[in-house]
Chain A
Amino acid sequence: PWQGRSIASSKLRMLEFSAFLEQPQDPETFNKHLFVHIGQSNPTYSDPYLESVDVRQIYDKFPEKKGGLKELFDKGPQNAFFLVKFWADLSINLQDDSNFFYGVSSQYESSENMVITSSTKVCSFGKQVVEKVETEYARFESGRYVFRIHRSPLCEYMINFIHKLKHLPEKYMMNSVLENFTILQVVTNRDTLETLLCIAYVFEVSTSEHGAQHHIYRLVKD
């Protein structure tokens, strides 16, 4: 049931995704602040399908040359492509402290045992500025294969970016910067090079008192 209703292709399903900051309070406790978060969901057949967005509407927000979003989408499988609009929670006081930990954690599951590669490209005006590539091996748990990218450190570029964003006095200014900031995550089967998931992330700043929010869309080409 999750196909078409959550971030899942026929081969891989995203279970959870978060970018966070951990601030130690004392030697035994710390505060965890979630900038963005996609929690576990268990859609059923009675849930509606995700809304769709025409992938051509966002081509220029992501790399367009070789290996860009267009080429990836045309290669398919097209059921592996999603757009996530995040309303990021920046309601936190940031100080420069080397004890702070900025991290990203994500989890995936599959019915297949494989090795996955996750490429995460941060883009400014559609051009890649930094890329992180991670390889994960499967763990067999409760009848399926689970992949965990646990507490991957946020890169220096992203930490600086968050700090600069926080220094802007008004939310509309932050949103104006975020209009040209995007992230493209491509999860691939390391051995077959098949695209398992491709997720395009775009951002605004949350105005909610309830923290980070998001909408998920299927990317299509009608």
Chain B
Amino acid sequence: GRAVEQVPMRKRQLPASFWEEPKLT
């Protein structure tokens, strides 16, 4: 197995927009 467990992206300090898919055409 992997020695280091990665922190899920959802638990990182990222802007809210990082999870908001733009709905532009």
B9 → A minimal CB distance (Å): 6
Contact B21 A53 (CB under 8 A): no
Main SS of chain A's interface residues? mixed
Task: Give the A-B contact count at a CB cut-off of 8 A.
Answer: 44
Q: Of the candidates B14, B15, B24, which one forms a contact with A213 in the assembled complex, judged by CB atoms under 8 Å apart?
A: B24
B8 contacts across to A, CB distance below 8 A: 179
Bound form: Cα–Cα A219–B1 in Å: 31
Contact with A along B10-25 (1 / 0, CB 8 A): 0011110110111111
Main SS of chain B's interface residues? loop
Interface residues on A, range: 20 to 34
Interface residues on B, range: 10 to 19
Q: Of the candidates A51, A54, A179, which one forms a contact with B9 in the assembled complex, judged by CB atoms under 8 Å apart?
A: A179
B5 → A minimal CB distance (Å): 10
Q: Which residue of B lies closest to A204 (CB)?
A: B21
Contact B13 A208 (CB under 8 A): no
A206 on the B face (CB < 8 A): yes
| 18 pairs, CB–CB < 8 Å, chain A vs chain B | A53-B14, A53-B18, A54-B13, A60-B7, A85-B18, A87-B21, A125-B2, A126-B6, A179-B8, A180-B6, A202-B9, A204-B21, A208-B21, A210-B24, A213-B23, A215-B20, A217-B15, A217-B18
